[in-house]
Amino acid sequence: MSEAAAPRRRLLLAAPLGVAAAAGVGFWYMLSGLQDGSFNPRGVPSALLGRAPPDFLLPPVEGGRLPGLSSADLRGLDRPALVNFWASWCVPCIIEHPHLVALRGEGVPIFGVSYKDRPVDALQFLSRRGDPFVKLGADPPGRVAIDWGVYGVPETYLLDRHGIIRWRYAGPVTAEIMNEDVKPLLRRHA
């Protein structure tokens, strides 16, 4: 081995140690944030905040009573609304569903996107648990969800009355999230 190749080889051997050290620092930061409450594991940013939703057109869930959903449905709303990505196979969706049904009962429009779900399963879920949606689009391949930046279901977006996305939440909307985030945002953007 030549003298010129030796420093390069040492650098290549040290690279994995550098990556491991950086990962260790990141993990330490996350753990210390969890300890003092400053780390939010659901705090995944969204590039869509402050913007209109991407253009899309979803057919209705096959066999359902609700019409499909498109980006045109979300423009020029008369009041703030929610867009909820969900699936019948999603356990956290079961947790949040009663809160969505209650919010719909208060007159808040909720648009649904059935994510990677079989139509019969989605319709049975809504039949058993109640249907909070004013429109429901089917996204079997998950393409629209990708365009929205959805990481997984459930995921909920709040749009102001101009159709601009003002809030995003990854995970089930619980009573706490409803009272601390959703309802105050609905009032603020009314």
pLDDT band at 46 (very low <50, low <70, confident <90, very high): confident
Range of the domain at 30: 1-39
Across 36-50, 110-124, 131-145, 155-169, least confident range: 36-50
Kindly state whether residues 33 and 78 are assigned to the same domain. Answer: no
Q: Is residue 151 part of a domain?
A: yes
Q: Is residue 93 part of a domain?
A: yes
Kindly state whether residues 141 and 86 are assigned to the same domain. Answer: yes
Q: Is the pLDDT of residue 127 over 90?
A: yes
E strand or H helix that includes residue 167: strand 165-170
Distance separating alpha carbons of residues 65 and 62, to the nearest angstrom? 9
Q: Is residue 46 part of a domain?
A: no
Q: Is the pLDDT of residue 36 over 60?
A: no
Kindly state whether residues 31 and 65 are assigned to the same domain. Answer: no
Q: Is residue 51 part of a domain?
A: no
- Domain CATH code at residue 141: 3.40.30.10
- Asked if 117 and 89 touch (Cβ cutoff 8 Å), the reply is yes
Q: What is the pLDDT of residues 86-122, one digit of tens each?
A: 999 999 999 999 999 999 999 999 999 999 999 999 9
- Asked if 136 and 64 touch (Cβ cutoff 8 Å), the reply is yes
Kindly state whether residues 183 and 125 are assigned to the same domain. Answer: yes
Number of domains in the chain: 2
Q: Is residue 71 part of a domain?
A: yes
Q: Is residue 94 part of a domain?
A: yes
Q: What is the pLDDT of residues 142-154, one digit of tens each?
A: 999 999 999 899 9
Nearest to 111 by CA among 75, 137, 147, 76: 137
Instruction: Give percent of the chain above pLDDT 70.
Output: 79
